[in-house]
Each structure stands twice: as structure tokens, then as C-alpha cells.
Amino acid sequence: MKTFLNKRLLGFIIPNFIVITIIGINKMINPLSGGVLVFSEFVILPILMGIMSSWFWKALKVKSGSLVGYSILNGVIAILLSFIFLGEGSICLIIVSPLIFAFVITGAFLGRAMFNRNHKTLNVSFVTLLLAIFIVDSISEHHYENMVSDELIINAKPDKIWKNVVAFEKIKSPDQYWLFKVGMPSPMQTTVTANEIGAGRKCIFSNGYTFDEKIVVFDVNKNLTFDIVNQPQDPEIMGHIDIDRGQFILKDNGNGTTTLIGNSWYKLHVFPVWYYDLWAESVTRNVHLRVMDHIKVLSEK
């Protein structure tokens, strides 16, 4: 009974210890990564964690339901360790959790199948292959840029909308997007130092964090483009995403309405992009829409 209990516990402790150590060592020997979190840290390591756990649990004949439950617990421990030792933000961890759970479960069932067959050469080869992928992926260059565009019709002419695009007073309407409701900062206010190219602009978020911007195109009633020159050192975004540029385009529809287009360009530093870009697009889109809806309300008064 004692051995069984120990093996069960070791299936949680050892894989988590090994994985957090690998991430720590990887950060130490690869400091130029600048906080980039690669595909293998979210995919290969959780799979390895699941495989290692299954090795400890192989003698316990763990049922499938328990294996899924234990894997979720393992994922929760890994997420908590990331929060404590890697300084990740809580919203980031909400975003990452489905991916971690899915890959830890996959690893656990892979491991169970591997150790049931007990083909040692094959098992060692497979784990070595996963480690090789991890190393190659960790030292490889990762680069991803994207642009998100949204548009909205406003029942006003561009000259009435323009001043609200350049700067606007505090948004008082309640947040609609679920991530804003659970604590992700939402855009609140924009200020500007002057109405000209080169002027400073600030986008202030609900938690007080500020994006410092510099106006690079100031085409009155048509185009406001600004580069982000400084973004807040928030653990939710620091090292994960760089917002590079924002833009508002106003198109006069000739019937008293205007199409307002909001564009944002960003670099993503978390991989795999097929997962994280879904979130980045969703968050960017909801930042756009919160601001653009506010501009619409102010302009249609």
C-alpha cells in the first residue's frame, strides 16, 4: 500500500520537477530567447510529463477515468509552478490550460500504451526523439507577425468622428468580452499631446497600464496611424506579444455614414501559433471593438 501511494505521488512530483528544471535550464543556457515560449514547451514537455507519470503508475493499473483525472491534476500543478517560478500571469495560464491538459492526457495514454507493450528499445527511441525535437525547437529561430482588422459603420460623417478617433474620454460601459470580465485589462481612455505627426498618444487600460504611442500618419478625417513605442511590463503580455502598430481608417460612405476600420499589427512570441494566434486575434479584436463601439457612441450623439 505504501509503495503504491509512493508511486502515485512520484508520478506527480518527479515529472513536474523534471519539466520545470528543463524549462529553467533552457532559459539559463538560452537567455537570448527573451521569454519566447516555443512550441515544444507547450507540446513536447507536457507529453513527456504524461509519459513519465504513466511510467510511475504502470504497476497501479490506473483506470482511464483516473488517468485523465491525474493528468488534469498534473497539468494544474505544472500551471501553478509556472505561476510561482516563471512569473506567468493568471490570464495567460487560463489561456494555456486547455493545451497543457490535452497534451498531458495524450502523453499519459501514450505512456500507458508504451509501457503495456514494454518494448524498451522503441520506448527509449520515442522519448529520445521527443527530447531531440525539444532541443532543436528550443534553439531554432521563431518569428510570427499578424494583423487584425475590424470595421464598423458609424452614422456620422468623418469630420465628426475624427476627434474621437484621435483621443477619447473614459469608456464607462461594462465589459462584454469574457476575458475582460475575468480580469484581463480592457482599453479605457486615449490621450494625445498634439494633433500632428510625431505627437505622443497614450492608450490607458483599466488596470492603469499604458501603451505609449507615437503618431506616424495624421491625415485628418482619413487616417490615423501610430507606432507603439513602449508597452507595459505586464506578465500577461511581457515577452509573449509585442503590439507594433495601430491604425484607424475612416471611409466616407457618401450617405452620411462612415466606415471605421481598426487595424493592429503584432508579433507573437508564444508558439504554436495555430493555438495562441486564435487567442491573440480574439483579444485584439475585442480591444478594437470596445474602442470602436465607444467612438461610435460618442460620434452619434
Partner 1 sequence: MIALIYDSLLKLQLIVFKPEKLDWFDELEEEILKWEGTTVQLHKFGGTQFNFQNRELGHLHSNGVLDILFSKKIKAELMADGKVSEHHVFNKSGWVSFQIKAYTDVKRALELMQLAYHRAQK
CB neighbours (10 Å) of residue 125? 11
Among 10, 14, 60, 72, binds partner 1 (CB under 8 A): 72
- What the block records as the C-alpha cell of 252 is 466616407
Nearer to partner 1 among residue 70 and residue 226 (C-beta) = 70
- What the block records as the C-alpha cell of 119 is 518494448
Instruction: Confirm or reject binding of residue 60 to partner 1 (CB under 8 A).
Output: no
Phi and psi of 192, rounded to 5°? -140, 145
Nearer to partner 1 among residue 19 and residue 105 (C-beta) = 105
Mark the segment that binds partner 1 (CB under 8 A) among 31-39, 62-70, 155-163, 289-297. Answer: 62-70
The CA-atom distances, in angstroms, between 252 and each of 146, 150, 231, 288 are 27, 16, 32, 20
Name the residue among 109, 16, 17 with its Cα closest to residue 58: 109
Q: What residues have CB less than 8 Å from 166, skipping those under 6 apart?
A: 190, 192, 195, 201, 224
At 226 the three-state DSSP class reads strand
Rounded CA gap, 194 and 280, in Å?
31
Closest distance to partner 1 from the beta carbon of 142 (Å): 19
Closest distance to partner 1 from the beta carbon of 38 (Å): 17
Q: 175-194: which residues touch partner 1 (CB under 8 A)?
A: none
Instruction: Write the binding mask 87 to 126 for partner 1: x where contact by CB under 8 A, - elsewhere.
Output: -----------x--xxx-xx--xx--x--xx---------
Rounded CA gap, 232 and 251, in Å?
32
Closest distance to partner 1 from the beta carbon of 55 (Å): 16
Instruction: Confirm or reject binding of residue 51 to partner 1 (CB under 8 A).
Output: no
Query: Which residue type occupies 243?
Result: I
Closest distance to partner 1 from the beta carbon of 105 (Å): 4
Task: Give the interface size with partner 1 as a residue count (CB under 8 A).
Answer: 17
Mark the segment that binds partner 1 (CB under 8 A) among 58-66, 139-147, 164-172, 180-188. Answer: 58-66
- What the block records as the C-alpha cell of 216 is 506616424
Instruction: Confirm or reject binding of residue 69 to partner 1 (CB under 8 A).
Output: yes
Q: Is the dihedral of CA 51, 57, 59, 64 positive or negative?
A: negative
Nearer to partner 1 among residue 65 and residue 254 (C-beta) = 65
Instruction: Confirm or reject binding of residue 64 to partner 1 (CB under 8 A).
Output: yes
Instruction: Confirm or reject binding of residue 131 to partner 1 (CB under 8 A).
Output: no
User: Exposed e or buried b for every residue in 155-165, given b needs 16+ CB within 10 A?
Assistant: ebbbebbbbbb
Among 34, 65, 208, 254, binds partner 1 (CB under 8 A): 65
Q: Give me the residues that bind partner 1 (CB under 8 A), please.
A: 63-65, 68-69, 72, 98, 101-103, 105-106, 109-110, 113, 116-117
